[in-house]
Structure 1
Amino acid sequence: MIPATTPLPSAATATPVDKDLAEQARPGYGIPSQDPRTGAQTALEPEDAEREAHSALMGGGMMAGAAAGAAVGVAVAGPVGVVVGGTLGCIAGALGGAAAGTLVSPDDPSADAVVAEHLAPPLRGREGRTGPK
């Protein structure tokens, strides 16, 4: 085996491939889409938050509709009814979730999103513990 003549670049000295990802990272945290800590997350714009809420309602309606449709389908037509009922229930549930999304609106749509630090648990030292230790 012939050893390499040029050293391999280390991960610490390599520049990020996607500079946009580096711009998204908050100091002390990673990239929001890859770091689950609440401090790494950024608040959504009000339009994006509303769209996400409607998407969640549609997804929940789809799942509930699929389950209900499959249950009715198996009771009425057996194994084939599960597929047909689940599919029809999925469509009906998504439409129902979308309709529910138009009825549900925040009190103040121009309100700012909750800041991620507000949701983060407080850091406690030894003196801040409430347990027996």
Structure 2
Amino acid sequence: MNPSTDASSKPLPDGAAVDEDMAQQALPGHGIPSQDPNPAAQAPLNAEEAEREGKSVLTGGGVIVGAATGAAIGVVVAGPVGVVVGGTLGAVAGALGGAAAGSLVSPVEPNAAEAAPATEGKAKAAAAGH
């Protein structure tokens, strides 16, 4: 078998990085987080990025659900043309609905989520006389 001769398979001289920005993103011993599936290569998101990602997921989900719903209604009402029109209008409505839902949702604080069940358990035990 012949070794590959394309530029991507040849090592760079002196370990020079092709893209300094990408080299800065990589954690020592791992690849670039977006391209390395190893959990140790991943970097945590800050609060602002996590909030933005959550809203993006809801908006994207709204587009998919809206397009499917609009297409289903459109085919019943107007046939093949209704699929296109209903799917398009449904996608827009779904995106707007997902974005609106994203603005209403706020992440739960980890400490608050852990404290609530413990408090409920203590209250029930106290009420039962334990």
TM over 0.5: yes
Structure with greater contact order relative to length (CA < 8 Å, sep ≥ 6): 1
Equivalent residue for 1:72?
73
Residues 28-82 of structure 1: per-residue CA shift (max 9 Å, x gap)? 1101111111111101110011000000000000000000000000011000000
Query: Hey, what does 1:84 align to over in structure 2?
Result: 85
Task: Give the counterpart letter for 2:58 in structure 1.
Answer: L
Q: TM-score, normalised by structure 1?
A: 0.71
Mapping of 1:1-133 within 5 angstroms? Answer: 10-11=11-12, 13-108=14-109
Normalized per residue, the structure richer in helix is: 2
More displaced 10-residue stretch of structure 1: 80-89 or 98-107: 98-107
The percent of aligned pairs where both chains have the same amino acid is 64
Q: CA deviation at 1:12?
A: 6.3
- CA distance in 1 between counterparts of 2:11 and 2:61 reads 45
Q: Secondary structure at the match of 1:28?
A: coil
Runs of 5+ unmatched residues, structure 2:
1-9, 111-130
Amino acid corresponding to residue 87 of structure 1 in structure 2: T
Aligned equivalents of 1:51 and 1:10: distance in 2? 37
Which residues of structure 1 form unaligned runs of 5+?
1-8, 110-133
Distance of aligned partners of 1:59 and 1:10 in 2 relative to their CA distance in 1, 3 Å threshold = closer
TM-aligned CA deviation for residue 107 of structure 1: 2.4
TM-score with structure 2 setting the length:
0.72
* Matched letter for residue 90 of structure 1: A
Matches of 2:73 and 2:81 in 1, distance apart?
11
| Deviation >2 Å, runs of 4+ | 9-14
RMSD of aligned residue pairs (Cα, Å): 1.7
The count of aligned residue pairs is 101
Q: Deviations over 1:9-42 (max 9, x none)?
A: 7336341121121111111110111111111110
